[in-house]
């Protein structure tokens, strides 16, 4: 997999048709044998042209992925957002010991007294607390657990 | 929830994405030695059950100029949290929106990830949320990420907070 592009494309990298494709295709495709043919008509393109444009946008890094978005929790995994207040002098050492746990899926430094935020991903719910306890012991610092209590439906869309 | 074995095979074959071909489900069916109808039926069932959120393209926020993001956090009156959280989640610039427990020294129960073209825009959008919440919000803050310390391929999710 190519690494995620983290810099903006130049404004002329995409034309208005590309932008219409991006805007439309974030909403989801029909689960039918020829999903692109169904959409191409709406976008005023033929099927091959639509697929070629998606391919090209993937190559320049405008699109990161095409496919089903799975809900990992619905599939049985356990996840929990955690935070720690790590003294600046110990930050790198604590980061190293936290990241060494395979259950730590991602970890961000953030601008707050609670300056280290990571997500634990485990197979079973009980393993979340156990892993957090291990990290607490190793770091000698409290780990705050922020499990999801309610997830709201998201209207997020990147307007291309 | 237990996932039937057939669904697991479809999931394993498609977590990396679908092929960009006119009949992508037929191609997946070919990989697995099952019929196209079965792939489509099972994926539709998984979508109905919430295991699949949608089949779509994921645009790259960064490439499209949305390079700034902040985790906004809000202390909302519990009685109104579900109602107001739903309104915040529906905003087009919020990519994740959850209720989470408060903690010692942490009064916030609503988390909303805000995306913008720059930090000024993120701050303006944060003000928009504050206006929406009105007096039901007692306190708020925003946390910007300064460094990615670890990011592994949690490819099954959309990438949470």
Instruction: Give me the domains of chain A, ranges plus CATH numbers.
Output: 15-59 (1.10.10), 78-146 (3.30.70.3460)
pLDDT digits (tens, 9 = 90+) for A76-91: 789 999 999 999 999 9
Interface ipTM: 0.82
Do both B86 and B22 map to the same domain? Answer: no
Do both B84 and B120 map to the same domain? Answer: yes
- Of the candidates A40, A128, A23, A100, the residue with the CA atom closest to the CA atom of residue B64: A23
pLDDT digits (tens, 9 = 90+) for B102-150: 999 999 999 999 999 999 999 999 999 999 999 999 999 999 988 889 8
Task: Tell me the backbone φ, ψ of residue B17, rounded to 5 degrees.
Answer: 120, 175
Asked whether residue B108 is domain-assigned, the answer is: yes
Do both B45 and B97 map to the same domain? Answer: no
Do both B42 and B75 map to the same domain? Answer: no
Helix (H) or strand (E) holding B19: none
Q: How many domains does chain B have?
A: 2
DSSP state of B144: E
Do both B78 and B14 map to the same domain? Answer: no
What residues of chain A lie within 8 A of the CB of B86, using their CB?
Answer: 152-153
Asked whether residue B155 is domain-assigned, the answer is: no
Beta bridge partners, B15, equal: none
CB interface of B with A, residues 72-131, below 8 Å: 81-82, 85-86, 88-101, 103-106, 109, 111, 115
Domain extent at residue B106: 68-144
Q: Is B6 helix (H, G, I), strand (E, B) or coil?
A: helix
How many inter-chain contacts (A to B, CB under 8 Å) are there? 261
Q: Which residues of A83-119 are buried (b: 16+ CB within 10 A; e: fewer)?
A: bbebeeeeeeebbeebeebebbbbbbbbebebbbbbb
List the structure tokens of A151.
Answer: 């997830």
Banded model confidence at residue A2, pLDDT cuts 50, 70, 90: low
Virtual torsion, Cα A66, A69, A72, A75, nearest 10 deg? -110
Please indicate whether, in this complex, the C-beta atoms of A7 and B56 are within 8 angstroms of each other: no
What residues of chain B lie within 8 A of the CB of A145, using their CB?
Answer: 101
CA distances from B12 to A122, B6, B28 (A): 18, 10, 11
Spatial distance between the Cα atoms of B95 and B65, rounded to a whole number of angstroms = 15
Asked whether residue B60 is domain-assigned, the answer is: no
Banded model confidence at residue B159, pLDDT cuts 50, 70, 90: very low
Do both B78 and B130 map to the same domain? Answer: yes
Whether the pLDDT of residue A69 is over 80: the answer is yes
Asked whether residue B114 is domain-assigned, the answer is: yes
Asked whether residue B54 is domain-assigned, the answer is: no
Please indicate whether, in this complex, the C-beta atoms of B60 and A63 are within 8 angstroms of each other: yes
DSSP state of A154: -
What residues of chain B lie within 8 A of the CB of A153, using their CB?
Answer: 86, 89-90
Spatial distance between the Cα atoms of A89 and A75, rounded to a whole number of angstroms = 40
CATH number (domain holding residue B44): 1.10.10
Do both B75 and B132 map to the same domain? Answer: yes
């Amino acid at each position: 997999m190519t690494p995620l592009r983290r810099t903006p494309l130049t404004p002329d990298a995409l034309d208005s048709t590309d932008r219409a494709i991006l805007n439309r295709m974030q909403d989801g495709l029909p689960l039918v044998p020829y999903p692109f043919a169904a959409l191409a008509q709406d976008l005023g393109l033929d099927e091959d042209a639509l697929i070629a444009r998606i391919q090209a946008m993937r190559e320049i890094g405008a699109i990161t992925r095409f496919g089903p978005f799975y809900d990992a929790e619905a599939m049985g995994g356990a996840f929990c957002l955690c935070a720690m207040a790590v003294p600046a002098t110990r930050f790198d050492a604590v980061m190293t010991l936290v990241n060494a746990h395979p259950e730590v899926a991602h970890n961000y430094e953030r601008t707050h007294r609670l300056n280290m935020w990571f997500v634990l991903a485990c197979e079973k719910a009980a393993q979340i607390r156990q892993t957090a306890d291990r990290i607490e012991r190793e770091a000698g610092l409290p780990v705050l657990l922020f499990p999801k209590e309610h997830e709201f439906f998201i209207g997020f869309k990147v307007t291309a | 929830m237990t996932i039937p074995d057939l669904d697991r095979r479809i999931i394993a074959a498609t977590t990396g994405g679908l092929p960009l071909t006119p009949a992508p489900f037929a191609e997946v069916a070919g990989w697995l030695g099952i019929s196209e109808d079965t792939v489509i039926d099972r994926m539709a069932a998984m979508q109905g059950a919430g295991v699949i959120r949608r089949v779509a393209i994921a645009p790259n926020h960064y490439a499209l100029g949305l390079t700034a993001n902040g985790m906004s956090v809000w202390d909302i009156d519990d009685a109104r949290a579900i109602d107001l959280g739903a309104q915040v989640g529906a905003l087009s610039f919020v990519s994740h929106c959850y209720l989470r427990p408060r903690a010692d020294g942490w009064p916030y129960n609503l988390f909303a990830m805000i995306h913008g073209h720059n930090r000024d825009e993120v701050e303006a959008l944060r003000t928009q949320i504050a206006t929406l919440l009105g007096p039901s919000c007692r306190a708020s803050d925003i946390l910007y990420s300064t460094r990615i310390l670890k990011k592994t391929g949690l490819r099954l999710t959309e990438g949470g907070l």
